[in-house]
Structure 1
Amino acid sequence: MALLEVTNLKQHFIIKKGFLGEKTTVKAVDGVSLFIEEGQTLGIVGESGCGKSSLGRSILRLAEPTEGSIKFKGEEVTDMNAKQMKELRKEMQIVFQDPYASLNPRNTVRQILEAPLAIHNIGSRKERREKVELLVEKIGLRKDQLNNYPHEFSGGQRQRIGIARALMLEPRLIIADEPVSALDVSVQSQVLNLMLELQQEMNLSYMFISHDLSVVQHISDKVAVMYLGKVVEISDVEKVYSDPKHPYTRALLSALPVPDPTQKKERIILQGDLPSPSNPPSGCPFHTRCPMATKECAEIVPPLEEKTPGHFAACIHT
């Protein structure tokens, strides 16, 4: 049984446009199905605006899903009441993108890390202090820094604090929403290696959201490629990177830099801009930018089909 199983998940937002306030539906997540096994990392990649962050927030019910099923350890999450969701929060946590905005500037690191334990009534005051001190050393900070405030730390250190806060309740699943995109490249590698070490030590499962394909390749076991609220390709990381089935995935991978300067690589340049999720194109959502598009593509919504064993793509031409 998968740790997390998502089926036909939709997250639609109603917005008002124009002088008369006409209502429009923005389909941020539009029928996503995926699963994450125990101890596995699923990378979610795609352009800005494709619905990656909305998907993560919907799974945690930080935004209520419009439709679909979310099962965690076999239990339906969408039917849970507030009390049940509070219990579930112990096992499903999130690391936010911006380490500057996600930490309360008025609280010390000790207060920030003790807060989840206090909210869930876990341990005595002494036990909470001991747990915080133990974990802060595990993430690469010192005990004497616990009384410092967030502004006294670098971006990488702040993100380590964010990771520690997510780990305080000993969760099974962490949704990491662009956790290294705001950091320098050298610091990115340190944070990624820390996450991998913690995964091994604590048997964690990750949903790792990023627009950086090289980062996702480094940390993920499986990769799901999103475009306009839909998953257009999903498989093991080796299969997706070595033999991409969807033209959108091929275009993304063609932009990756090649370490060998003598090796030539064909770059696929996509035409046009990402369509608006409030007015998606008919048929295949990618057909307006696809170099392989035919008349059929504008009429048929391609299902996510198994093209080779364990490798799924939503394209009628592959």
Structure 2
Amino acid sequence: MAYAATYDNEKALRRDVERAAQKGFLPQGQTGQSTTEGGVIGAFGVVLGNFRTQKTITVSYVRDPRWLASRAAEEHGRSAKTALERTSKSQRELDAARQELRTALASAESDPTSLAAQRRLLGAALSARGKLSDFIKREAEFENSFRAAAGAHDAAVASAAKAQVLPATPDVASRLAAAARAASVEMDEVARIVPDQQQIVRTFETLAAAQDTRAKKGSDLGKAQAALSATQAELEASSRTPEAPAKRRLFGLLSPRDPAVELDRAGIKLETAQYDLAQAEQHVLGLEQALSESLEIWEERVRSPLRRSIVG
């Protein structure tokens, strides 16, 4: 980038030279030392060799390579600092997710048949997987930013320009890279156990729903037994007082009702309730057996890998 300016006095030239220097521009031909060829203005070392008349001075300004190098080092340094802050934040969140995973696993180990504990373990595993992925991504961003900042810093030093201090040392970058590699291994492990943990939670949930259904069918059976008993009692009462049904039918307030038919209906409802409860009991027994098998798989495919590779 370059531009030219024309002056009719040296005072204006001096003023612009100072302003241009603040923006990283130098008069073309300036070397940083005094020279006598082409005209000199004081200690500025300005070579006025581009164009000069008796009344005007025309000077071309160009970017100072040192300013460019310093600016590049500053910008890359800021980017690297931001990336480091994000990576550090992500690492703290990952440490918290790991701790939650340890706690959730311990809870599930103490009571493997607890649906709440298994749900919590699944949630902790999913959270850890997300935090692991985020940390790996952030570390890669920092690594790229740090390399660019280090290169810009070296270039600034080589050109004798002002260079900002890097936001991290190579040792810090190396430790973060090693942590990201370890996190990648952990993420693969978590990704393998998540489907099995999801399956066991579904089995628990299905069993819980079946147990609720069994309880409802038991309640329905109780109601059917109560209804049968009430119908039997009504039939006995009507047999002792044959005039009662006629009184109830007076003025068409109640439709004619045969107690014997009502008794048959109550008996059918009772048999249906007994059958439904038996079916519900059989369903629960099958799910309990499936859960027992799932817990064996959980021990092998979920608990042991987590305890060995991540939590331990």
TM-score range, shorter chain: under 0.3
TM-score, normalised by the number of residues in structure 2 = 0.18
Greater strand percent: which structure? 1
> What TM-score results when the alignment is normalised by the length of structure 1?
0.18
Question: Which structure dedicates a bigger proportion of its chain to helix?
Answer: 2
Q: Which has the higher contact order (CA 8 A, sep 6+)?
A: 1
Instruction: Give 1 or 2 for the bigger CA radius of gyration.
Output: 2
